[in-house]
Structure 1
Amino acid sequence: MNKTVRLAGIAYESLVNGPGMRRVFFAQGCKHKCEGCFNPETHSFDGGEIMDMDKLIKDVLDNPMLKGVTFSGGDPIEQAHSFAYMAKAFKKANLNIWCYTGYTFEKLLELMKKNENIRMLLNNMDVLVDGRFEIMNRNEELKFKGSTNQRIIDVKKSLEYGNIIVIG
């Protein structure tokens, strides 16, 4: 397996991308290209930097201040194999894992039937913030999301109960 991931950047200690002190990995590459996107420089699949996932994992695990990891973007689903690999390692270390995606949870459930990497990523994440950013639904007072159409989903409970459990 190729143990690299293409990242647009890293926020080493963040308090705004999920609860507690977190490491945030910004995926490089996004098909959604939402109008008003907060990170348009992450859209190209050729930009960013190719990084060694094992080094990224070790660096997170070596920092006792971190309570969780957030995958943002770009769209981490476009590199599901890499983010699933990292999520599995972080979950094994009992870190809280959030993921932002322009895809809806319903679409990911459909895709995971054919894509084992998406299944593994979902099975190792705690919270998914789903849906495209919609500029007409933008609300800067929302916590952990940019527009009112986006949902903050408890992935574990949603998979367990077979329906979407929205939190927050």
Structure 2
Amino acid sequence: MYYGEIKNCDIADGIGVRVSLFVSGCRHHCDGCFNAMTWDFEYGRPFTEETENELLEMLSPDYIDGLTLLGGEPMEPDNQRALVPFMRRVREKYPDKSIWCYTGCVLEDELLRESTWRCEYTDEMLSMIDVLVDGRFILARRNISLAFRGSDNQRIIDLKKTLAQGNTITLDLD
């Protein structure tokens, strides 16, 4: 897996102060995407053990609330295969920090059912995510007044509650 950028002290991509990892590779190709350069699976730098260690160090201060995964597309199967072992390390070292994930996939249709997005790591990855922002960016539905998303079709899902209860629980942050 490659990544395009790491942001330390990010306040735009989730509640609180976060470390954000922008992975490379995305097949959605949403019109108006703010990060189209990350569609290329080899954009940026290789995601290595050294990268993981740097991210873990960035997560260490008490004022950092958690990790955000975005891109590109974290739910690309090849990206899931690289992210899940890293997420295990995050959960082990920082069990009280939250993990947010942005995906163009729709939870019920593409991540919880058989689809090209699911792989042997999908269920484990979903189990480690606290908040999932799902749905493709739709330029015609763009709304800059929304918290933590770009278009009004996208949802901010409390994934822990959703998986536990079996129905989608969204957070209303607007």
Scaled by the length of structure 2, the TM-score of the pair is 0.88
Conserved? CA contact 1:125–1:155, under 8 Å = yes
Conserved? CA contact 1:111–1:118, under 8 Å = no
Partners of 2:58 and 2:114 in 1: CA distance: 29
Which residue identity does 1:31 align to in structure 2?
R
Q: Secondary structure at the match of 1:83?
A: helix
Matched, 1:29 2:25: yes
Q: C-alpha displacement at 1:128, in angstroms? A: 0.3
1:154 to 155, 158, 173: 158
Q: Where does residue 81 of structure 1 map in the other structure?
A: 81
1:110 to 109, 113, 121: 113
Conserved? CA contact 1:102–1:130, under 8 Å = yes
Shift in alpha-carbon separation, 1:85–1:70, aligned structure 2, 3 A: same
Which residue identity does 1:167 align to in structure 2?
L
Which residue identity does 1:68 align to in structure 2?
G
Shift in alpha-carbon separation, 1:62–1:114, aligned structure 2, 3 A: closer
Matched, 1:99 2:101: yes
Matched, 1:166 2:170: yes
Scaled by the length of structure 1, the TM-score of the pair is 0.91
Q: C-alpha displacement at 1:87, in angstroms? A: 2.0
Deviation digits for residues 57-87 of structure 1 (CA, Å, limit 9, x no counterpart): 4323433331110001000111012222222
1:70 to 68, 71, 80: 68
Matched, 1:126 2:124: no
Percent of matched pairs sharing the same residue: 37
Q: Secondary structure at the match of 2:12?
A: coil
Matched, 1:6 2:2: yes
Q: Where does residue 147 of structure 2 map in the other structure?
A: 143
Which residue identity does 2:105 align to in structure 1?
Y
Conserved? CA contact 1:10–1:25, under 8 Å = yes
Q: Secondary structure at the match of 1:110?
A: coil
Q: Secondary structure at the match of 2:42?
A: coil
Q: C-alpha displacement at 1:111, in angstroms? A: 4.3
Shift in alpha-carbon separation, 1:114–1:25, aligned structure 2, 3 A: closer
Structure 1 runs not aligned, ≥5 long: none
Q: Where does residue 52 of structure 1 map in the other structure?
A: 48
Q: Which moved more, 1:14-23 or 1:78-87?
A: 78-87
Which residue identity does 1:138 align to in structure 2?
R
Deviation digits for residues 136-158 of structure 1 (CA, Å, limit 9, x no counterpart): 00000000000000000011111
Partners of 1:115 and 1:167 in 2: CA distance: 27
Conserved? CA contact 2:19–2:55, under 8 Å = no
